[in-house]
Amino acid sequence: MEIYKTEFGSFHNQTIWQYTLTNDNGLKLKVMNYGATLTSIETPDKQEKTARIVIGSGRFNDYLEEDAYFGATIGRVAGRITAGKFSIDGTNYQLPLNDGKNTNHGGPDSFERLLWDSHPFRIPDQVGVRFDLFSPDGSNGFPGNLNVSVSYSLNQKNEWRLHYEATTDKPTLFNPTNHVYFNLSGDLDQKVDHHLLTLNSHRFGEINKDGTPTGRLIDVADTPFDFTQSAVVKRGFESDHPQNKLVNGYDHPFFLDKHGDGPDAVLKEPVSGRQVSMTTTNNAVVVYSGNGLSEKIVMDGKPTKPHLGITLEAQMMPDAIHHEGFGNIILRPGVKYEADTIYQFGLI
Ligand code: G6D
């Protein structure tokens, strides 16, 4: 297990640090203090050829120019908040609208655009970095002085573990995630069409044209959203299901069944033989198939394109503050928020 730190760039005259974490099985994970953002994961394929399996860049400035949240820590609230409005204990709040008539991913210049304090650590069989951020009361319209930390770690079981903690001095909303885009082929000329996805979920959240949840949970049976058995993601790109056609693929939350002790999600790529299993303490995973990527977004000198990557954004259901049964995302003083998401890499 190794961890080392290198200069990755400069932002507002401050150094951007990138940490490289490696284990003894050929896995390499890179993460930077700008946005507590994952910049790379490399794993071996079935021929033991190692390649990057996420959309990322070795050029810091690419992250200043893109707005696709590649590998970023998202917060205070992942996903859309309808009309940017919510109320807590009878007090109404209005957030800045950065996505049409709604607020998305915590609002403009949120966690993903901020410099986090970084603290590398090494414990038996694990190396990692804890990123800390102070989000002041009123930041992007959210109440409460919020102290957040997100710890990235890599271990010898080929697990990338994310641990989130937060405390607040006023009731606020908190629902973070990581916006990693996987492409397990290791070839960023290839789309994810033939990736196979399994989700431990019998219901997905219907969305409106603007991407906000309608509040209705739809049974996946007999739809292109049924991933209860492994299925190719391409079917959502060719489907005439209105929810697929709305977004040209997937951009949907899946309510996790949370029964049995298997992973909540498994993504496989048959040619390379790579797979990643995801387990989370959250009640949902948002699957976004990179529908909005285009050649205008260039990462590491390569233009992106629709369906070049697929996210598994573990989080509480989006817009939960407005929908009964979606889960509680109110964080109150005296309570420590904790959540964990584990991505374990291996071969099929
Ligand atoms: C689009 O609707 C999608 C979001 O789900 C995604 O997170 C973002 O692009 C990167 O807004």
User: Over the stretch 34-47, which tens digit does the pLDDT of each residue have?
Assistant: 999 999 999 999 99
70, 175, 204, 251, best to mutate for ligand 1 pocket (most atoms within 8 Å of CB): 251
40, 8 Cβ separation under 8 angstroms: no
Sign of CA dihedral 302, 308, 314, 320: positive
What is the CATH number for 29? 2.70.98.10
Q: Is the pLDDT of residue 288 over 90?
A: yes
Residue 230 is predicted with a pLDDT of 98
Residue 259 is predicted with a pLDDT of 86
**If you ran DSSP here, which 8-state letter would residue 281 be given?**
S
**If you ran DSSP here, which 8-state letter would residue 116 be given?**
P
Q: Is the pLDDT of residue 160 over 90?
A: yes
Q: What is the mean pLDDT of residues 222-242?
A: 98
Distance 146 CA to ligand 1 centre (A): 25
Any ligand 1 atom below 6 A from CB of 69: yes
Any ligand 1 atom below 6 A from CB of 112: no
Burial of 306 (0-12, 13-18, 19+ CB in 10 A): middle
Any ligand 1 atom below 6 A from CB of 66: no
CA-to-CA distance for 306 and 248, rounded, in angstroms?
Answer: 9
Residue 305 is predicted with a pLDDT of 98
Q: Quick one: which of 210, 150, 171, 83 has its CA closest to 340?
A: 150
Distance 81 CA to ligand 1 centre (A): 13
Burial of 247 (0-12, 13-18, 19+ CB in 10 A): middle
Residue 10 is predicted with a pLDDT of 97
Residue 194 is predicted with a pLDDT of 98
Residue 231 is predicted with a pLDDT of 98
Count the Cβ atoms, other than its own, within 10 Å of residue 324.
6
Q: Answer whether residue 247 is part of any domain.
A: no
Please, what is the average pLDDT of the chain?
98
CA-to-CA distance for 280 and 69, rounded, in angstroms?
Answer: 20
Q: Answer whether residue 105 is part of any domain.
A: yes
Any ligand 1 atom below 6 A from CB of 288: yes
Tally of domains in the chain? 1
Q: What is the mean pLDDT of residues 133-161?
A: 98
Q: Enumerate the active-site residues.
A: 179, 313
Distance 169 CA to ligand 1 centre (A): 30
Q: Answer whether residue 274 is part of any domain.
A: no
CA-to-CA distance for 106 and 296, rounded, in angstroms?
Answer: 24
Residue 26 is predicted with a pLDDT of 96
pLDDT tens per residue across span 179-204: 999 999 999 999 999 999 999 999 99
Q: Answer whether residue 237 is part of any domain.
A: no
Q: What is the mean pLDDT of residues 226-231?
A: 98
Q: Quick one: which of 221, 185, 220 has its CA closest to 206?
A: 220
Distance 23 CA to ligand 1 centre (A): 32
Q: Which atom of ligand 1 is nearest to the CA of 311?
A: 7
User: Which tokens is 50 given?
Assistant: 């190692």
78, 106 Cβ separation under 8 angstroms: yes
Q: What is the mean pLDDT of residues 109-132?
A: 97
Confidence of residue 75 (pLDDT cuts 50, 70, 90): very high
Could you tell me what percent of the chain has a pLDDT over 90? 99
Does the pTM surpass 0.85? The reply is yes
Residue 253 is predicted with a pLDDT of 99
Q: Answer whether residue 290 is part of any domain.
A: yes
Distance 60 CA to ligand 1 centre (A): 21
Q: Answer whether residue 206 is part of any domain.
A: no
The boundaries of the domain holding residue 343 are 2-191+279-347
Any ligand 1 atom below 6 A from CB of 68: yes
Confidence of residue 260 (pLDDT cuts 50, 70, 90): confident
Q: Answer whether residue 197 is part of any domain.
A: no
Any ligand 1 atom below 6 A from CB of 251: yes
Q: Answer whether residue 121 is part of any domain.
A: yes
